[in-house]
Chain A
Amino acid sequence: NAGVMQNPRHLVRRRGQEARLRCSPMKGHSHVYWYRQLPEEGLKFMVYLQKENIIDESGMPKERFSAEFPKEGPSILRIQQVVRGDSAAYFCASSRDSSGANVLTFGAGSRLTVL
């Protein structure tokens, strides 16, 4: 049973380019979360999605960032016109449902470096 799969593991972009990060949740999980981790900082919530719906995007920057979780295929976190401050590790997590203890299973992360 494969865990949460994220790709690419490492991504290098120049300022102004676009970054696309993909996440396939665990089998049987329909809830996806994206978190960002800056060096020496904790995990910061960005967005929570279910299939075809954004449930909570209170942690997403208002500009340049978007996320989707289509009916078919992985969840995508898209960062347009990247800047150096976007350099971070982006973690995706999934859960079976959000009732009771919402146990999140994390992927290995995608590390974005903006030159």
Chain B
Amino acid sequence: QKEVEQDPGPLSVPEGAIVSLNCTYSNSAFQYFMWYRQYSRKGPELLMYTYSSGNKEDGRFTAQVDKSSKYISLFIRDSQPSDSATYLCAPGGFQKLVFGTGTRLLVSP
């Protein structure tokens, strides 16, 4: 079993749609849950992170963690073509992060 599982997509949605991206993980020791965004041929950039269970909102983005089911979600409201990228979940502890394979999102105008 992989430490982090993420549907690779691609996920295609029209502009303005609500997008839901999800990950599951196996290590109950993970305490921090990061979401990175990676544009084609670029390095990943941090989008947002949460600590332990709960929700966190930042503009059009909401991150949600359910530690009891080891399930991580990222919601994007009013999606834009500029949101087209690969989204990587990365749970971790105090040192290295473990990345999912990433979900490729395509938002069409």
Contact A103 B101 (CB under 8 A): no
Q: Interface readout for A96-115 with B: 1 if CB under 8 Å, 0 if not?
A: 00111111111111000000
- A72: Cβ under 8 A from any B Cβ: no
Interface residues of chain A, those whose CB is within 8 Å of chain B, are: 4, 33, 35, 40-45, 48, 55-56, 91, 98-109
**Most B CB within 10 A of own CB, among A40, A100, A101:** A101
| A–B pairs, 13, beta carbons within 8 Å | A4-B43, A42-B100, A45-B97, A45-B98, A45-B99, A56-B96, A98-B95, A101-B49, A102-B96, A102-B97, A103-B49, A106-B45, A108-B43
Partner of A103, one of B6, B34, B42: B34
In the complex, chain B residues 54-99 whose Cβ is within 8 Å of any chain A Cβ = 88, 92-99
Q: Kindly provide the distance from the CB of A44 to the nearest chain B CB, expressed in whole angstroms.
A: 8
Contact B96 A99 (CB under 8 A): no
Residue of A nearest to B102 (CB): A42
- B14: Cβ under 8 A from any A Cβ: no
Contact A109 B95 (CB under 8 A): no
* Main DSSP-derived SS at the A contact region: loop
Residues of chain B within 8 A (CB-CB) of A48 are: 95-96
Q: How far is the CA of A87 from the CA of B46 in the complex (A)?
A: 25
Contact A103 B43 (CB under 8 A): no
Q: How far is the CA of A33 from the CA of B8 in the complex (A)?
A: 24
Contact A43 B46 (CB under 8 A): no
In the complex, chain B residues 1-43 whose Cβ is within 8 Å of any chain A Cβ = 4, 6, 8, 32, 34, 36, 42-43
Q: How far is the CA of A107 from the CA of B8 in the complex (A)?
A: 23
Given A41-B101, A91-B43, A91-B44; A102-B94 close (CB under 8 Å): yes
